[in-house]
Structure 1
Amino acid sequence: MSNNPLISIITPTYNHSKSIETCIDSVLAQDYPNWEQIIIDDGSTDNTADIISEFDDKRIVYIKQHNTGILNLNKTYNKALDLSKGEYIAVLEGDDYWPDHKLGEQIKAFKNPGTVLSWGNAQIVDGEGNPERLFHEPGSYPAISRTTEILDRLLLKNFIPACTVLCRKKSLLEIEGFKQPPKSPYVDYSTWLNLSTLGDFHYTDDVMGYWRHHRGQATLKNAFDMIKSDMDYSIEFFNNLPADRKELLSVNLEQIRKAKNNDLMEVYFKLGRKSLHQKEWAKSREYFKKSLHGSGTIKFYTSICILCSFLRIDFEKLISVFNKTHVDDLISD
């Protein structure tokens, strides 16, 4: 690996006038100088384009296209991938941003020729950039995960924040670019799954990206579509694995189904919480009856919420004492 290989940063954006400046500023502030940022604007109707035009740096490439929509996000990503000149690809969507040492720190992982992807922890922030919580508790993952280990984990859950990812371009090309299953609004999970079959993933136990969480960002329809899409894709992916690779895995089809089903129960739990907060006592219990089929903490908190519904107590007021996230920040109608 050369001392400072070119890193191509893929930045899809749509109506990010309130955040795109912070996004680009965080790239310009990198202590690693050899990068290009390819910004693909999916037909923004606000003044995103005007803000981007104010940046005078030849490393920033701006392309505006006709709106293709969130369900064609892979086409936007792969368009940028085709235009990229770098040996490595970083992901930074238009409403996220980075710490200034991100690229310089993560490029070190690729001194190991077996490393396919580098990722790190993320700081979740609100629409104004105020910190909410970390994506993962510090120390949650080992520095290096071998291909079988990372695949075991990913088949059960997507735990890699996209804004922290840096990967080899040749590996992305080997899997034929970014993947997006039908009805999924994301490209990350399916892409990470495919990359995990090619080599090691390197984790940096530090904040490598700031993920902006907007109040009520996850809609009911998106939540169900995403989980169903994840479930279908992970099962299909597992079934299509060669027999010898399956034998090396610790997870099986039943465990994958159970994990995805628990994600679905979490959505029902959030919907129940929302109904409970709106004093729709009977309606909340209908959702909670479904989330009772979840496991672990979901089942435990569901039981408490059912009791709250009979006592007509707002669960959100109870959890506010413990600084837990309010349901309105988790899901909208």
Structure 2
Amino acid sequence: MAGPPQAMINPESISVIVPNYNNRQYLENCLDSVLSQDYSNLELIVIDDCSTDGSGEIIRSYACRDKRIIPVFNGENLGVAVNRHNGILLSNGTYLTTLDSDDIFLRPDKLSREYEVIQAKLSTGIRNVIAFSGIMLLKADGSRLGPQAASIREGEILNHIVRRTCLIPRDFLFTKEQYLAAGGFDPRFPIYEDWDLKIRLAKRNLFYYTGIDGIGYRRHGTGLSSVSPIRHAWWLSRIFVKNFFLLRSERGKTLTIFSRMILRMVKNHLKNTRKK
């Protein structure tokens, strides 16, 4: 007996935005992880930011084979924050998420599990819900390093996100309305632009955990892990100062915890520099 139409199984669509710049070696793995999701009512928006490594050939090939893919090729390099923003504006899904082109959805039920969490909370009268999954750290070759070690916080997590004392959700499921209400990505930040957005989202929304590791976050020589600790500390501090006024309570405690974290980063960097 034939099953019900797909629209009845997944009545609400999900948009996945994948910005790409010169990640050809990881791109197919990324796209396959999205297209193999058991939540099949989705669109995949892939934005290539003037890659020079042949990424465009892969994107065009995938788009020809799967009509759920919307390829976008920039005429100039715009940077990851602008590309994510443009992809979100272009999206048609009821819900959306993002995924860097060197990362993967770790499980085929990642999206469906997050969708179920949102629907369960909405059914109890809870509004402004964002659903997230755990993060598995990967080597450049895709082998697993282990889950990201951080405590899981749910509900109102603004203070914890600002202090960076919990798992910072990434590639979570939310709506375009939630994104726009939070003000979107700030293109002034070359790194941690996603943390800046998450702080503002946490001011207005409640975050809930699926209980699974759903993201494969790849560590390799050209990613965020290659940025110097001093540059990390600088941009973290800039974003902290920008959003400090959003805190509802415990501002003094939060300032102390964050300042100690930055000081440790700088001290460790100086210590390692002397050893060299």
Into which bin does the TM-score normalised by the smaller protein fall? 0.7 to 0.9
Determine which of 55, 59, 82 is the counterpart of 1:75: 82
Instruction: Please point out which of 136, 139, 147 is paired with 1:134.
Output: 147
Contact 1:184 1:226 in 2 (8 A): no
After TM superposition, the structure 1 stretch with the greater mean CA deviation from structure 2, 43-52 or 227-236, is: 227-236
**In structure 1, what is the Cα distance between the partners aligned to 2:40 and 2:222?**
37
Q: 2:231 aligns with which of 225, 228, 241?
A: 225
- Which residue, 242, 266, 274 being the options, matches 1:236? 242
C-alpha distance in structure 1 between counterparts of 2:67 and 2:192, whole Å: 29
Tell me which residue corresponds to 2:135: 122
Q: Which amino acid aligns with 1:265?
A: R
Structure with greater contact order relative to length (CA < 8 Å, sep ≥ 6) = 2
1:262-291 deviations in Å (ceiling 9; x for gaps): 234225414533653xxx4xxxxxxxxxxx
Is 1:31 equivalent to 2:38 in the alignment? yes
Q: TM-score, normalised by structure 2?
A: 0.84
Q: Structure 1-normalised TM-score?
A: 0.71
Deviation, 1:119, is 1.2
| Alpha-carbon spacing, 1:220–1:54, altered in 2? closer, same or farther (3 Å) | closer
Contact 2:233 2:266 in 1 (8 A): no
SS in 1 for 2:215: strand
- In the alignment, structure 1 residue 58 sits paired with structure 2 residue 43: no
One-letter code of the match for 2:111? L
Contact 2:15/2:91 (8 A) holds in 1: yes
109, 113, 117: which one pairs with 2:117?
109
Residues 231 and 257 in structure 1, CA contact (< 8 A), matched pair in contact too: no
- Aligned AA (1:203): Y
Are the equivalent residues in 2 in contact too, given 1:124–1:212 (CA < 8 A)?
Answer: yes
Partners of 1:116 and 1:198 within 8 A in 2: no
Percent same amino acid among aligned pairs? Answer: 25
Structure 2 distance, partners of 1:207, 1:131, is 12
> What is the aligned residue count?
258
Write the distance in 2 (CA, Å) between the matches of 1:185 and 1:67: 19
User: Which consecutive unaligned segments of at least 5 residues does structure 2 have?
Assistant: 1-7
Q: How far apart are the structure 2 equivalents of 1:267 and 1:130?
A: 30
Letter in 2 for 1:159: L
Aligned pairs for 1:175-190 (under 5 A) are 175-180=182-187, 182-190=188-196
The separation in 2 between residues aligned to 1:254 and 1:67, in whole angstroms, is 44
Measured against aligned partners, the alpha-carbon deviations of 1:127-160 in whole angstroms (never above 9, x if no partner) come to: 11011121136xx325xx233xx01101111732
Distance 1:42 1:257 in 2: 39
Q: CA RMSD in A?
A: 2.3
CA distance, structure 1, for counterparts of residue 227 and residue 37 of structure 2: 37
Cα distance between partner residues in 2 of 1:155 and 1:45? 36
Deviations, residues 105-134 of structure 1 (Å, cap 9, x unaligned)? 110122123243211211110111011121
Q: Deviations over 1:180-211 (max 9, x none)?
A: 4x343232111111111222101123211100
**Residue equivalent to 1:323:** none
What SS class does the counterpart of residue 122 from structure 1 fall into?
strand
User: Alignment partner for residue 212 of structure 2, among 206, 211, 215?
Assistant: 206
Deviation at 1:233, TM superposition (A): 2.3
Pair 1:263–1:216, CA change in 2 (3 A)? farther
Instruction: Map 1:155-194 onto structure 2 (within 5 A).
Output: 155-157=162-164, 159-163=167-171, 165-180=172-187, 182-194=188-200
Cα distance in 2 for residues equivalent to 1:31 and 1:68: 33
* Secondary structure of the structure 1 residue equivalent to 2:209: strand
Aligned partner of 1:105: which letter?
R
